[in-house]
Amino acid sequence: MIDAKTGAEPRSARRAEPRLTVVSGPSGVGKSSVLAEVRRLAPEIYFSVSATTRPPRAGEIDGVHYHFVEEAEFERMIASGEMLEYARYAGNLYGTPRKPVEDALAAGRPALLEIEVQGARQVRRAMPEAQLVMLVPPSWEVLVSRLNGRGTEDPEVVERRLAAAREELAAQSEFDATVVNEDVQVAARELLRLILGQDR
Ligand code: 5GP
């Protein structure tokens, strides 16, 4: 179907270009588990590695989970135009280095960014062809219990993340698609179909 106003084909009809997919979702929704499964199912997808000023959590490796940088280095990257987008979230800076994403797309690989909503909005402006997907919990109660059960964060951080989660979920209508993470396998396959452009 063609959009009467814009004359554009719906996103699902466009297949030729590898696409950039942005996945957002509140802290505690299970993004890491779902994305780990997507990565296992489709190693051809390029997963962007963000830069952040947040200190590493136990088990996180510099250059793999994030590029852990000082605030001054982050500011330098912004000033030199190296960031495709960036945002401050729960007191720390997070941003997507532009070049690896552009290189992956140019090489024909679908690319995936896992970022928060302010960043997703910036990507939408910079690359209107990007597809925005929000991963949501089956219910608010599930999200609260997952965040409390994680045990890696102190209560104040959990509170801040819940406040941010409420705001993120309110932005759902700005996204092209929503995937409910009730079951990791099901959510991963649904997301994979969207990333690879096999949404029907
Ligand atoms: P965490 O500290 O739990 O790893 O991430 C906190 C939030 O920052 C998550 O919502 C995550 O999606 C987001 N995030 C991670 N990398 C980026 C990035 O490069 N840009 C933006 N805007 N958000 C990011």
Q: What ligand 1 atom has the least distance to the C-alpha of 161?
A: 6
Alpha carbon 79 to its chain's center: 23
Segment 131-174, tens digit of pLDDT: 999 999 999 999 998 888 866 668 888 888 898 899 999 999 99
- What is residue 157's predicted lDDT score, i.e. its pLDDT? 82
pLDDT of residue 62: 98
Q: Among 34, 52, 101, name the best residue to mutate to test ligand 1's pocket (greatest count of ligand atoms within 8 A of Cβ).
A: 52
CA-closest residue to ligand 1 atom 22: 119
Round the average pLDDT of the chain to a whole number and report it: 90
In a domain, 101, yes or no: yes
Residue 10 lies in a domain: no
pLDDT digits (tens, 9 = 90+) for 77-92: 999 999 999 999 878 9
* C-alpha to C-alpha distances, 29 to 26, 61, 79, nearest whole angstrom: 6, 22, 32
Q: For residue 55, what are the contacts with CB-CB under 8 A and spacing of at least 6?
A: 68
CATH number at residue 42: 3.40.50.300
8 Å CB contact between 131 and 65: no
- Residue at 9 is within a domain: no
Q: What is the mean pLDDT of residues 99-105?
A: 97
CA triple 162-36-32, angle to 5 deg: 10
Instruction: Determine the residue type at 161.
Output: R
Whether the per-residue pLDDT at 200 is higher than 50: the answer is: no
Dig out the tokens for 156 from the structure: 């104040």
Look at residue 8 and tell me if it is in a domain. Answer: no
DSSP lists the bridge partners of residue 95 as: 51, 86
- Residue 15 maps to a domain: no
Residue at 174 is within a domain: yes
Please report, in angstroms and rounded to a whole number, the separation of the first and last CA atoms in the chain. Answer: 13
**SS3 assignment, position 95:** strand
- 92 Cα nearest atom in ligand 1: 2
Instruction: Name the residue range of residue 26's domain.
Output: 20-196
DSSP letter assigned to residue 59: T
Output the residue whose Cα is nearest ligand 1's atom 24: 115
pLDDT tens by residue, 53-65: 999 999 999 999 9
Domain-embedded: residue 145? yes
> Token pair for residue 52?
């952040």
Going from the Cα of 116 to the center of ligand 1, the distance in angstroms, rounded, reads 5
Strand order in the sheet with 177-180: 46-47, 111-114, 20-24, 131-136, 177-180
Question: Nearest C-alpha to atom 2 of ligand 1 is from which residue?
Answer: 54
Per the CB < 8 A criterion, the answer to whether 25 and 136 are in contact is: yes
Nearest to 57 by CA among 145, 159, 153: 153
- For residue 13, is it within any domain? no
CA–CA separation, 161 and 164 (whole Å): 5
Query: Of 74-78, 96-100, 118-122, 158-162, which gets the smallest average pLDDT?
Result: 158-162
- Domain count of the fold of the chain: 1
* CA 44 to ligand 1 center in whole angstroms: 22
